[in-house]
Structure 1
Amino acid sequence: MKKIIDAHIHLDQYKEEELTAIFQEASLLEAIVSVSFDLQSCKKNLSLSKAHSKVKPAFGFHPEQPLPSESQLQTLVAWIEKNRYDMAAIGEVGLPYYLRKQKKNGSFSLNKYIELLETFIVLAKKWEKPIVLHAVYEDAPIVCDLLEKHSLSKAHFHWFKGDPKTIERMIQNGYFISVTPDVVYEKEIQDLVRVYPMERLMVETDGPWPFEGPFKGIMTSPLMIHQSIETIAALKKASIEDTYLKILVNTKKFYRI
């Protein structure tokens, strides 16, 4: 089987026996980019990268949760700075689209999350690191504004969903996207793949997030990416061999693997 890279997975959220199964398949993987949720998650991903050379950790604070206190943020940033030479990227960071939708009383304030994201964008720029972004639908233009403000072009929008105007803006700015195994059965993601340049495409699982269609009831594994790439090749009317190679090269170049 062709070599692949999972460009976005949460290895720290798998059970030990599930990790064992994933690493048993590691000979088929070029690398695994494991993103972090918070400080504890960062530490677990760093530990996994020390034990398994193919794990490339990204450090950050996932936006779909309550904001950290000022002291928690300072502790996190200090830890990331100390370990920045071991990380492939800042991530996962972004804006809390789904958390905000859950709030019914209208009291949710986005401003503090925007400030937090800008903190991480500044750090990514300062340390010359890529940034892994959770930014979908109407949140994406806000994130594009921040990236443009700080002239940060090394941006990866994972599992992206958005309007045509924003998609065109992202293409013009040279941002990368990655698609999950739902590209196999979701029209919205298939349409995105058709219009987004092959030179800016990567693949991911966002595991352990579960999927439907042919993956229903199956533990999410990086090996699902093979079906994603076959689907991308068909959508792009390209050969499977060329698609494997292009996506591998894209990801290695973006993450400096």
Structure 2
Amino acid sequence: MIDFHCHLDLYSKPQTIIERADRSGVYVLSVTTIPKAWLGTKRLAKGRRRIRTALGFHPELAHERHNELELFDTLVDEAPYVGEIGLDGSQHLREYAPIQRKVFAHVLRATERVGGRIMSIHSRGAADEVLDLLRAHEAGLPVLHWFTGGPSQLRRAVDTNCWFSVGPAMLKSKAGRDRVAAMPRDRCLPETDGPFGKVKGRPLEPTDADSVVITLAEIWSMSPDNVRQQFIQNFKNILSLAGTQRY
């Protein structure tokens, strides 16, 4: 199984989570929220061949950490993936919208300069603005994590060649299930967004990624095994599109 968006460094006991994921054979994209966290998070997964660490700059932290842009520029060349990056249009962050846009645009330019990356992208309450910036930069392959945009924004995202990562917490709501039903299934990957993604109050972890399969089997009118095979094929396809034959 695959967990294409998880914050391994933010669990209370990250090594326990990593051990369980490793034993279960889960492929994990471990996203970070600030550039300073990348090296330490990468060290957490040292020697784990199924875990990759993405270089991130979370929009909720952009106004506090914009002085780390130079560090992002330094690290991006050696980072195999980029994320979590993007914009957040939540009410309590509106005053920081200009600095968020500045940071996100800078990150996209830096990623474009090194030839592009697979990017895990946050777009809550800011889907149109995120898509505008993605269209302005050839920064790689965007994967919209836990997408919450409306139908017209989803169509724009598909037209912008975006992919989507979908988790158990997203599928709890009818709105979330309806969004997934409208997404191209050949551009979807599973995620947990743990430890922030929760089900029944429990933080999700990479070994929970497979729990999306039953719900998606119903939505897509497929058997659970075929959903799993679809995810495996999608995983191979996105790596191939990015010019990376192996994870």
Does the pair score TM above 0.5? yes
Distance 1:22 1:151, change over 3 A: closer
Is the partner of 1:144 in helix, strand or coil?
Answer: helix
Partner of 1:223: 207
Q: How does 1:1-257 map to 2 (within 5 A)?
A: 4-16=1-13, 18-68=14-64, 71-81=67-77, 84=78, 87-98=79-90, 101-102=91-92, 108-127=95-114, 128-137=116-125, 139-152=126-139, 154-211=141-198, 215-255=199-239, 256=244, 257=247
Identity %: 24
Residue by residue, what CA displacement relative to the aligned partner does 1:215-235 show, whole Å, maximum 9, x if unpaired?
A: 314341222222211111110
Residue by residue, what CA displacement relative to the aligned partner does 1:81-127 show, whole Å, maximum 9, x if unpaired?
A: 3xx2xx331111111323xx125xx7x14122112111111222222
Cα distance in 2 for partners of 1:163, 1:11 equals 29
Q: 1:176 Cα deviation (Å)?
A: 0.5
Unaligned runs of 5+ in 2: none
Q: What TM-score results when the alignment is normalised by the length of structure 2?
A: 0.88
Distance 1:219 1:152, change over 3 A: closer
Contact 1:90 / 1:120 at 8 angstroms: preserved in 2?
Answer: no
Is the partner of 1:51 in helix, strand or coil?
Answer: coil
Unaligned runs of 5+ in 1: none
Contact 2:188 / 2:234 at 8 angstroms: preserved in 1?
Answer: yes
Residue by residue, what CA displacement relative to the aligned partner does 1:186-229 show, whole Å, maximum 9, x if unpaired?
A: 11110011111101111101111142xxx314341222222211
Q: What TM-score results when the alignment is normalised by the length of structure 1?
A: 0.85
Cα distance in 2 for partners of 1:195, 1:70 equals 36
Distance 1:219 1:150, change over 3 A: closer
Cα distance in 1 for partners of 2:157, 2:140 equals 10
Q: 1:58 Cα deviation (Å)?
A: 0.4
Contact 2:8 / 2:18 at 8 angstroms: preserved in 1?
Answer: no
Number of corresponding residues = 240
